[in-house]
Amino acid sequence: MSGARTRVVPTTLPLHVTEHLDEGHVSQASVRDHGQASGRDHGQAAEPTFVLLHGYAGSSYTWRYWAPRLTSRGRVLTVDLKGFGDAPKPEDGRYAPGDLADLVVALLRELDLRNVTLIGHSLGGGVALLTALRLHDSGEDRLARLVLIGSPAYRQKLPPLVPLSKVPGLTAPLLEMIGAKRAASSLNVLKSGFGDNGEGCGENFPSGEPGNGDFSTPSAAASVSLK
């Protein structure tokens, strides 16, 4: 694997965005940061950008093995969704998938991202799907591809811990009382088709450094080209 480093991408939104940089690849965004003209300024197509969204109870750490492998193909951004990881956690009650999708749409607009491959796992897949629908309805040509991994798409019964997490101040005591493993089991993510052996949280589904990038279950991931 080629050398990679990261930087935090400034945003006015309650998200935490990390850019993964390959030492041998200079993105158009990096060129713009140094005050030079980008390829798109000369009428060229926007460079490919990968935006990765983690699942419930996860963070950008989910993509620790995958993000570096994408940097040679374009710009790579991992997002800590509002309330998760290093993202802000305001007590405004706006944490529904639709609220999170609105923030992702706003992020793509704020950074003026185009030719985007939007990748979402679990909750992040549902957020990615809603994001794609919102952009489609607004007629914005930003997404090139949509990749959904173990993603919700239809109404389904939620694990009991998810509705309870809406109650302010309740989640931390609950997790401390029942323990991390039982909490993960109640979320039904340990055996979600990603080859987890039950010893770690299924949210971190790339449980080892990937070889050819295949998933253990063929139906676990779906990719759609939007062009």
Dist. CA 20–CA 165, nearest whole Å = 31
Question: Which domains does the chain carry?
Answer: 4-157+208-225 (3.40.50.1820)
d(CA 93, CA 114): 30
pTM: 0.75
- Measure the CA–CA gap between 109 and 88, rounded to whole angstroms: 19
Q: Is 102 exposed, middle or buried (0-12, 13-18, 19+ CB in 10 A)?
A: middle
**What separation in angstroms does the CA of 215 have from each of 19, 43, 109, 117?**
24, 37, 31, 18
pLDDT computed for residue 214 by the predictor: 35
For residue 221, the cross-strand partners are: 149
Residue with token string 């089991």? 185
> Phi, psi (5° rounding) for residue 214?
-75, 150
- 20-37 tens-digit pLDDT: 998 765 555 554 554 433
Q: State residue 173's pLDDT score.
A: 83
Tokens of 131: 């994001």
Q: Indicate the SS3 state at residue 146.
A: strand
pLDDT exceeds cutoff 60 at 205 = no
Quickly tell me which residue has 């940097």 as its tokens.
71
Q: What is the pLDDT of residues 52-65, one digit of tens each?
A: 999 988 999 999 99
Q: For residue 44, what pLDDT is reported?
A: 58
Q: Which two tokens stand for residue 10?
A: 């400034």
pLDDT at position 195: 37
| Side chain identity, residue 172 | A
Tell me how far apart the alpha carbons of residues 127 and 207 are, in angstroms, rounded to a whole number: 23
